[in-house]
Amino acid sequence: MNGSYNTLIAGVIGSGKSFCEKRIIDALISQGGNMYVLIDPKKVELHQYRNNVGVLQYADDEESIYEALCFVYELMQSRFDDMRANEQTVSTEPHVFVFVDEMAFLMQGSRKKEYVRMMSQVTLMGRAARIHLILCTQVATQDVIPACIRDNMTNIVCLRQRDAGKYRYLLGSFPGKLPMIGKAYVYTPMMCEPEKIDTEKVWEAINR
Ligand SMILES: Nc1ncnc2c1ncn2[C@@H]1O[C@H](COP(=O)(O)OP(=O)(O)OP(=O)(O)O)[C@@H](O)[C@H]1O
Ligand SMILES: [Mg+2]
């Protein structure tokens, strides 16, 4: 695995974001050897994974979420220090996948600016350090997913959106037909245009 796995999963309430996110976690767990940071503001979506092997942090309230994201940022910096000391350009440490079940929670509080700074830097530089963000959002607008984060997301998983503008913000165009439950428009660097894919198979498409 040497790809870039930063992924944005966006869709209205009940469109299947958490379902899709959990299928990705299941695929990573069955592959083995990965590490995870789970940010679960709703407290029930990722709770089932908190004791899994490789889970470095599970955070479900304001303070623990802040600590977990600072931990991720500092881990990235320390991996870069190690890489420089060892004259490596890519880390040989295990991949760390940071799942955020709902971005709006992070973007509403007083720490928004700091979160945007840390997360955009992780999306920019994390690949070499093998640290990847998988972000879920109900709302695909600039105030919840700033362009500096959106533009660094390698993979977009676009479930059902509220209006055509949201598809354009995510995919660059409105595909015309809305995806039904269980389907998403997925856009990865291996695709010329968004493809409609079963949400169960999103990780396969990202890893293609
Ligand atoms: N591919 C699928 N196959 C079968 N059921 C699905 C699929 N995707 C989602 N569902 C079901 O649809 C419902 C809503 O899915 P989910 O909770 O993932 O949506 P969500 O976008 O995370 O919602 P919320 O915005 O409330 O967090 C759940 O009951 C889930 O099991
Ligand atoms: Mg959900």
Averaged pLDDT score across all residues of the chain: 95
pLDDT at residue number 4: 83
pLDDT at residue number 208: 86
If you compute the radius of gyration of the chain from its CA atoms, what whole number of angstroms results? 16
Q: Kindly state which CATH superfamily the domain 12-152 is placed in.
A: P-loop containing nucleotide triphosphate hydrolases (3.40.50.300)
Closest CA relative to residue 183, chosen from 195, 175, 192: 195
- Site residues for ligand 1, CB cut-off 6 Å: 11, 13-19, 138, 181-182, 199-200
pLDDT band at 182 (very low <50, low <70, confident <90, very high): very high
Q: Round to whole Å and give the CA distance between 202 and 114.
A: 30
Model's pTM, two decimal places?
A: 0.96
Strands (E), the chain: 7-10, 35-39, 55-59, 96-100, 131-137, 155-158, 183-187, 195-198
Nearest-5° angle of CA 3, CA 29, CA 81? 50
Provide φ and ψ at 172, rounded to 5°: 85, -10
Q: Round to whole Å and give the CA distance between 9 and 170.
A: 10
Mean pLDDT value across residues 170-185: 92
Q: Output the CA 82–ligand 2 centroid distance in Å.
A: 36
| pLDDT tens-digit series, residues 23-45 | 999 999 999 999 999 999 999 99
Q: Output the CA 114–ligand 1 centroid distance in Å.
A: 30
Mean pLDDT value across residues 112-137: 96
Q: Output the CA 4–ligand 1 centroid distance in Å.
A: 26
* Domain positions in the chain: 12-152
Residue 2 has pLDDT above 80, yes or no: no
Report the atom number in ligand 1 closest to the C-alpha of 159: 21
| pLDDT tens-digit series, residues 91-101 | 999 999 999 99
Mean pLDDT value across residues 114-133: 95
